Structure formats: C-alpha cells, structure tokens
C-alpha cells in the first residue's frame, strides 16, 4: 500500500539563498486549508528537509529563518510533494542600499577568474589588489559603479605562471598597470537579481560587458556602519582584449581556453 493510498503525503525540499547556498537554520511549518499546523521540522545542515506522514489534502509549506523573509508554497494534493529549491531572501534584500557613496571593502571582497586548461580542467586565479565604489542613487537607473584593479596582482598559486601572465602576451602589466570598469546601466529583473552593463578597460582596450548581479541585502555592521553585499559573474573572451597567446595541442585543443569566467564577491561600506 502506497503513502497516497494510506491517505498521507510526503513533502521534500531544500531551503537555499538566492545564490544557491543552504540555509541550515531554517524551519519548515506546514498548515492545512483551515490554517491548522499539521507538521513541521528544522532543515538539515545542507538545507534539505523531508516531512512524512502528513494528512492528505491541500496544504501550505512555510519556510522561515532568522534574518530572512519567509517563503510560502502551496501543495495541492495527496502523495509526494517535491518542492525543489525554496529561495529565502535575506531581510532587507528587497530594499536598495541607501543613496550615497559605498566603498568596496577589499578585505571582505574577492575577484577570481578561471579558464580551461587543455580542455579538461580549470586553472583558477585571483586579482588581489583592487579598489571600487558604488554611487548609489535613489534607484538603479541613477546608480553607477566604478572599480580599478592592479593587473600585476594576479595570483594563481604558481609564481612562474604568474610571471607569464604579467608578460606582454597576456596582461602586459608594465604598459597597462590597471584594469578598470565603469558601469553605464543597471537593469533590474527581480529585487535581488540585476544585470549591470559597463565598459571594461583591459590591456588598453575597452569593451562593453554584462555582469550578472545577485544582491544579498544591506544592513548594520558591528562597528556602527552600514554594509551591503553582492555576488557577480560574467564571461570574457580573451580575443576581445588582445590576449592572444596560446599553444595548440592535440586535436586543436588550446592549452588555455579563450573564455575566462569571472566571479566577484563584494562587501561595500557606506561612507557618505
């Protein structure tokens, strides 16, 4: 006899943040159509939950966590209810940071890049020295972002490789010491998901790039200030910036892939 035949149902899901990280302190509460609680459980460390033995029939699954906006999901009928990923938005993430100047905190921020090596694995690196600021307007249309990165700060955990990356056939840091980005437009898709367009100046060339932005919210810090958090990803073609070095190996596979994946985590502090 199946769970459905016995008149009970099983509900599963996973509580995650907007960028896919688990929320291990979330709690799941299940209420029936009359508003009575019929089940519930804390989630596991990976954000997942399994609740069994529930009475059959429509119900609502409410997932909540301290510091996050609760999410309610309906389940329509008996049997197995797999809700998949339930995104919990951090409280305050639906509100933009206050207008003013927000400076990037480099100690709590990170710029990393990766490219395929021999077509089978990835080489990862970081750009360790950078500055930046956000001139936050009353809305995203009037908001602008600027950043400057020291090209010579590239670090892939191998000094010989890093010296090659600083050489003329890669970043050419003696001629082009800085990498710069200045935004021109930010398009809002949801309250915490945007696309930021702007000009990236690298190795003396400027190209328009699009960055996928996840906004994590803003709030007070431990020192009486205000902070905001963002995660950003984009992909760049080395050919667009005259980084043309390569070695072709067997079957035309390049030693280093032409596409760079850029991942950026930013914590910004309000200064004005």
Question: Are 45 and 39 spatial neighbours (Cβ–Cβ below 8 Å)?
Answer: no
Q: How confident is the model at residue 105 (pLDDT cuts 50, 70, 90)?
A: very high
Q: Which of 67, 113, 126, 128 is nearest to 92 (CA)?
A: 67
Q: What is the DSSP string of 43-66?
A: --TTSEEEEEEEESS-EEEEEE-T
Rg value, the chain, Cα: 24
Tell me if the domain spanning 100-270 has CATH number 2.40.128.110. Answer: yes
Domain at 8-90: CATH code: 2.60.40.10
- What distance lies between CA 45 and its chain's CA centroid? 20
pLDDT digit string, tens, across residues 188-199? 998 889 999 999
pLDDT at position 256: 63
Give the C-alpha separation, 213 to 61, whole Å.
29
The DSSP call for residue 256 is: B
Q: What is the pLDDT of residues 151-203, one digit of tens each?
A: 999 998 889 888 988 988 888 999 999 999 999 999 999 888 999 999 999 99
| pTM passes above 0.75 | no
pLDDT the model gives residue 4: 39
pLDDT, position 145: 98
Domain extent listing, the chain? 8-90, 100-270
């Amino acid at each position: 006899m199946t769970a459905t035949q016995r008149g009970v149902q099983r509900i599963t899901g996973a509580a995650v943040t907007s960028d896919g990280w688990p929320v291990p302190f979330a709690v799941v509460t299940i209420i029936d159509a009359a508003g009575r609680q019929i089940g519930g459980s804390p989630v596991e460390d990976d954000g997942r939950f399994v609740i069994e033995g529930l009475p059959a029939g429509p119900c609502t699954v409410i997932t909540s966590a301290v510091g996050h906006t609760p999410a309610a999901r309906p389940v329509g009928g008996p049997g197995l209810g797999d809700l998949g990923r339930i995104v919990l938005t951090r409280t305050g993430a639906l509100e933009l940071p206050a207008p003013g100047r927000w400076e990037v905190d480099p100690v709590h921020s990170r710029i990393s890049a990766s490219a395929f090596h021999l077509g089978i694995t990835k080489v990862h690196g970081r750009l360790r020295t950078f500055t930046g600021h956000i001139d936050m307007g009353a809305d995203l249309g009037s908001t602008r972002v600027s950043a400057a990165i020291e090209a010579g700060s590239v670090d892939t955990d191998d000094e010989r490789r890093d010296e090659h990356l600083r050489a003329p056939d890669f970043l050419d840091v003696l001629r082009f010491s800085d990498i710069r980005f200045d935004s021109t437009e930010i398009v809002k898709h949801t309250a915490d998901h945007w696309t930021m367009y702007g000009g990236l100046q690298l190795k003396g060339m400027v190209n328009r790039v699009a960055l996928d932005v996840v906004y994590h919210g803003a709030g007070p810090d431990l020192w009486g200030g205000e902070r905001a958090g963002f995660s950003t990803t984009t992909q760049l073609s080395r050919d667009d910036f005259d980084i043309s070095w390569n070695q072709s190996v067997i079957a035309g596979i390049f030693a280093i892939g032409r596409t760079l994946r850029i991942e950026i985590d930013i914590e910004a502090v309000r200064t004005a």
